[in-house]
Amino acid sequence: MQRCFALAIPMAVVALLAAPAATFARAQTPQLASPAPALSTAQPSSSHAQAGTPALTPEVRGDLAMAHQQYLQAIDAYNQEPTKSAVLWNKLGMAYHHLFAVDQARHDYQRALQLRPDYPEALNNLGAIYYAKKNYSKAIRYYQKAIQFDPKSAPIYSNLGTAFFARGKVDLGIEAYRTAFALDPKVFQSGSALLVNEALPAHDRAQQDYCLAKLFAESGKNEEAIEYLRKALDEGFTDRKKLLEDQTLASLRATPEFAQLMTEQKPR
C-alpha cells in the first residue's frame, strides 16, 4: 500500500483540461497509466495572441503534460524553467519516478529538499524511492520526517504503516493505519491510486488486509470489511480461530455476508 506523489495542479490549469487531473500513486515505483494522446505545446496562433491569450509558462505546460501522463514532455517543459523552485524539483522527480528512473527521481527530490528541508511531499516521495528499493528502514525515517511537517496527511501515515508491515512490525503498522483511517476513511478505498501493496510478500499482504478489515469493521463499514477479509483469505490468511474469535469482528460475524464468505472458503 504505498504511495505519494503529491502534484498540486493550479486550478487555472485544471480548467484548461477536459478531465480532472490524474491522481499519482504514492510509494513504491508507480504504476504507469495507458498512454494518452500527446499534449500539444505549440505556441498560440497569431489571432489568439492578438486577442490577448496569455502564453503558458513551462511549468504550467509541464503540469498539463503530467495530468495527461506525458512524462517525457513534462520533463522537457519543466527543464525550460530558468529558475527551479523546490516545488518544481519535486515535480521533476515525480515525472522521472513515473518513468521508473528512480535514481534521477531521488536526485530531484533531494534537490527540492536542499531548497526546502521541511517539504513534506518531497520527503514522502523520497521515502517512496527507498520503499521501492526495499530499504524499508530508510523509507520509514523519511515518512516519519514528512509527518513531522504534515501531521494531518492520511496518505503519508498509510505509507508509513505499509513500510512497517514490510519490516514485519505489524503492531506499528496497525497503529499507523488507524491514524490514517481516522484522518481520512477514504484513504484505503478499493482501487485508490494511493493504495499500493503489491510489493509486500503474500503473507504480509494477508496480514495487512486483515488489519484493514478490522478497521472497516470497527467503523461499521461492513461491505469494505468483507472485501478486505476476502483478500486476506485469498492471500493465505489461515488463522480461522482468530477470525472467528476476534472481538473487533463480532458484529461482522453476525452478517449474512460473513457467513457467505466462510462457506466460500475451503479449510486450509
pLDDT digits over 84-129, tens only?
Answer: 999 999 999 999 999 999 999 999 999 999 999 999 999 999 999 9
Is the full-model pTM beyond 0.75?
no
Least trusted range by pLDDT, from 30-34, 83-87, 138-142, 227-231: 30-34
Q: Is 206 helix (H, G, I), strand (E, B) or coil?
A: helix
Q: Is 9 helix (H, G, I), strand (E, B) or coil?
A: coil
Q: Is 256 helix (H, G, I), strand (E, B) or coil?
A: helix
Domains of the chain, earliest start first: 11-149 (1.25.40.10)
Q: In the Cβ-directed half-sphere of 140, how many Cα atoms lie within 13 Å?
A: 16
- Distance separating alpha carbons of residues 243 and 101, to the nearest angstrom: 42
Residue 133 contacts by C-beta under 8 Å, 6 or more apart in sequence?
A: 102
Cell 511531499 found at: 121
Burial classification of residue 141, based on how many CB atoms lie within 10 Å of its CB (0-12 exposed, 13-18 middle, 19 or more buried):
middle
Between 26 and 129, the more confident residue is 129
What are the angstrom distances between the C-alpha of 138 and each of 56, 124, 142, 150, 174?
A: 39, 11, 6, 18, 19
Mean pLDDT of the 144-153 span? 96
